Structures are given as C-alpha cells and as structure tokens.
Structure 1
C-alpha cells in the first residue's frame, strides 16, 4: 500500500502544543512525522493511514486543525492532475438524509490511484462506491450518468479477472478491500473504470476507507462525480443498478504546500472556522450559524 504525504494547518500557540502533536502522532501506527512547525502552524506527515484517522488524532489534543494538502512523491511529478477531492452530501454535494462525507484521490504512480475517504450517516453494513461519468448535480444523484466506463467493459468488482475468478485481495484494518490485485500481467480486469467495490459502515454509520485502484487516473475523473449506494454493490449485475444516496463532483484539490490561505478572500471566513460553516450559501457568513 502506497504512503501519502498530508499537510495539516494546526493552531499551535506554544512549544507545549507542538509536543502534544508530536506525542499523539508518534503513538499512531503507520504515521511518520516529517515536520511540526510552530512558526508556520503546520504539520506534515507521511502515512499509510486514512487521512481522517490522522486528523482526528491531532484534534484529540484539543487543538484546531484542518487538512491543507495531500500528495505523494512516488513516480509522479506534482501537478494539477495529481490530487482530487469530492464532497458528498451536505451543503456542497447531494444526499438523502444525514449522509455526507469526503473522498480523496491521489495518483501515486502512473497505474495506481490511492483512494481515501470517510462517509458518515450510513446504515451499518456494506455500500457500493462508484465514479460516474457526469458531474451534473442539477437533478441530484439521478443526473450523474452511469458508471465511468472508459474501456467499454461490463460492470464488475475489483476482485474479478477476465475468467471471472476470484483473485487475491488485501484488507485494511477498517475491513475495506483494496484493488491491489495479484494476477499475471496479461489479465484484463473486467469492470467499469468507476467500479470501486464496497465500503463498510460501522455500527455508528461511519465508513473509513483507504485502498488503491489500478484503473482510475486522477486526470480522467476531474469534473465527474462519485456516489455511494444505499446497499452493497453486486458485481454480477451487468449494469450495476442501484439507489444512490449521496454524491459529489470530483474537483482538483491542493497538493503539498499549494494552499497557503489563512482567510478565504471571497467571504472572510478564517481557516479554523471553515469546518463549522457551510461551504456555500448565505449562512456561511453568518456567525450565528456556529
């Protein structure tokens, strides 16, 4: 599993704050601290953990923190098509009821994309996750088109080869299978480009996942959408029909050290307050919203 570099802005006021951050991160498995800067109020880590796990660890110290950049340095020159993000449900995407979350995409190699996300408000159990052809939310999740299918193949799952045999799967600590498949080089995967398999929500309705995909390329998916289904995906279904309960447009996201803002120029909202405000709409500027 590829590692990713993640940059966080952390509101630190003294050396003790810095020590608290280093202490919590050093106790987290799979995290290497690259930088903790009190002057820049910045923390940089290299990790194989989902970004949400690292962010929650920092916030558990009592310090305010937000994620600023997501990147990697394996085989790819940093650029505008290396990292992308989609916000599902909430004020930005579309969704039914309380379902909302974020899915991030990072091209770590030419033939490998790291997919990292957290979705809340789900029913416990498995839910299909797909990239769709269109980024049209005018009709909610009904107008995002079919699964992205750049190779003209049938619907399938990330565990199928051309003979429809099960192949080797990897599992994370969050019970989410990856698409790192152990097969011979001549095998062609029979699945839509956008078939990402199933994610699993825990008893609290939260799904935290991190896996790699060999078909997805960030440059091919910006401007399209990603959606989560009400139930599990059935690879045996030729079309992959499902009820989509939350979706969002995939947009370019900041790479490492590409986001230096502290205050949003359009509305004056401070970096630390953004997580408590809607991303759009009149209530974003209204301090009473907090």
Structure 2
C-alpha cells in the first residue's frame, strides 16, 4: 500500500441509483480508500486515499460497467507539477503491425510534487509472469521498440533495480496474472514528468533481473511500446463526448475493446 495519498477521477457508466449503490459498495470495501464521491449526473467518481488507482479501476470494472481514468492528482486542493500518458500502440519491430488481439496497455505519470512522481501502469493480454518495464531514450518507434534507443540513463550508471539505483528509466517488473492482466504502481523520486515527455516506454518479453551485470537486466525483446505524451491531470479533462467522433467515452472504450478482439 502506498504511503502517499492520491486523488483520482474516474468516468463510470452509471444510469440509475442502483448503479450508485453498487459503486458505493465496492469503494467501501477497498482498503486505502479514505473518501469518495459518486456523482450520477456527471457520471463521475472521485476517490481519495493511498489505494492504487489501477486497483480501484479494476474493482469498479468488476461491477460490469465501463470505467475510464480521467486523471490523477493529489488531495486537499493541491495542484500537480505535470502529467503524462503513454498508450502502448506498437508491437515488436514493425510499427505498421497492429497490436495482436487482446493486447493493450496504458501508463500514466503524475508529478504530485517536485520530488515524487506517481506511475500507474496497466497492461493486458500478455503471458503470465513478470515483464520488464523501461523508459527509453527516444520516442522514435519507426522500427518499433528497436529504434527507441537505450534505457533512459542521464546519470550514466549501470542497470539496477530502478528504485534505489540503476538507470532512471528502470521501472522494474509488472506481474501479469493468469488472465493476462497486470498493473504496477510506483512512487518514484527519480523520474520527473518534464524529463520523460517525448521519450518512450517498452514492455519486454522477459523478467528484468534488476542486476547490474547487463544493460537491460536480461529482459529480452520488447513486446509493447509507446511514446510518452503530455496529458491532463485530474479534473482537467471533463468532456464526456469525444470531439473527433461524437461518441461518448464509453462508446469509444467499447469500440476499442471490440477492435482488440
């Protein structure tokens, strides 16, 4: 459980008071949710507390409703110092090849203060076990993960565990369960949002051994990658309808799910 408290806004597809009661019951049962507000009219749920936002999202989805994370921040009315997002949309070494069926992922970064960056990553469709997560030097995915360069390493040190030592781009491993779903939440004092925008993130086929004997922790080839882009933080993106297609957030989400099948 994190020691820092987060404030996360979710768009949740709700149509009646019964929906509100279902969502409320779920939130009351999650350890680390200090407070929450469920707004049926706005189809919005705001949660505060140290519970990982990715875990809350999964619990809400288990009610059978489409759930989208609008953004993250810090409680008590404080602002954040920057936010970014990475959508994994490239597979293998050929960027023209769409992600294989069922594979997808998203990483969010919120600089909750000058010292701490919250990293919340969710992936699905990968083989069970551990997969390495790394920020790479460039945002060039013209040849898939192969063209993203080395791990982001501005301090020019050896590979490591990503928390206390190693490349700043070393984020450790995400554990994927038997259903192909994995999530990872990190509080990093080394990663800064303003330093990683325009770079890329690569998810590897193997586990990162977190040792300094190789440059990549024996984590193997990349299997997912995407470019880190600036994004809105919590409460900065209130639209329910996509300006591009005119579809609601939930229609867009279901369409993407169908395309991934």
The TM-score range, normalised by the shorter chain, is 0.7 to 0.9
Matched with 1:61 is 63
Matched with 2:109 is 105
Describe the SS at the equivalent of 1:53.
helix
Post-superposition offset of 1:109: 2.8
Q: Say whether 1:150 aligns with 2:154.
A: yes
Which segment is superposed worse, 82-91 or 214-223? 82-91
Matched with 2:72 is 70
The TM-score with structure 2 as length reference comes to 0.85
Alignment match of 1:118 (pick from 110, 122, 136): 122
Which segment is superposed worse, 98-107 or 146-155? 98-107
Q: Say whether 1:272 aligns with 2:241.
A: no
The 1:114–1:93 alpha-carbon spacing in structure 2 relative to 1, beyond 3 Å, is farther
Q: Say whether 1:221 aligns with 2:196.
A: yes
Matched with 1:52 is 54
For the Cα contact (< 8 Å) 1:78–1:255, is it kept in 2?
A: yes
Larger Rg: 1
Q: 1:76-225 residue pairs with structure 2 within 5 A?
A: 77-79=79-81, 82-89=82-89, 97-98=100-101, 99-158=103-162, 179=163, 189=165, 191-225=166-200
Q: Unaligned stretches of 5+ in structure 2?
A: none
Superposition RMSD in Å: 2.9
Q: Unaligned stretches of 5+ in structure 1?
A: 159-178, 182-188
For the Cα contact (< 8 Å) 2:79–2:112, is it kept in 1?
A: no
Q: Say whether 1:12 aligns with 2:5.
A: no
For the Cα contact (< 8 Å) 2:80–2:112, is it kept in 1?
A: no
The 1:8–1:90 alpha-carbon spacing in structure 2 relative to 1, beyond 3 Å, is farther
Post-superposition offset of 1:157: 1.8
For the Cα contact (< 8 Å) 1:94–1:137, is it kept in 2?
A: no
User: Deviations for 1:181-220, whole angstroms, at most 9, x for unmatched residues?
Assistant: 5xxxxxxx3x111011122222223222112222100111
Measured in 2, the distance between the counterparts of 1:96 and 1:8 equals 26
Number of aligned pairs? Answer: 252
Post-superposition offset of 1:228: 0.9
For the Cα contact (< 8 Å) 1:75–1:109, is it kept in 2?
A: no
Describe the SS at the equivalent of 1:277.
helix
Measured in 2, the distance between the counterparts of 1:101 and 1:83 equals 17
Describe the SS at the equivalent of 1:21.
helix
Alignment match of 2:213 (pick from 228, 234, 237): 237
Measured in 1, the distance between the counterparts of 2:74 and 2:116 equals 12
Post-superposition offset of 1:78: 2.9
Measured in 2, the distance between the counterparts of 1:243 and 1:133 equals 16
Post-superposition offset of 1:247: 0.7
Post-superposition offset of 1:32: 2.9
The 1:265–1:63 alpha-carbon spacing in structure 2 relative to 1, beyond 3 Å, is same
Post-superposition offset of 1:42: 1.2
Describe the SS at the equivalent of 1:262.
coil
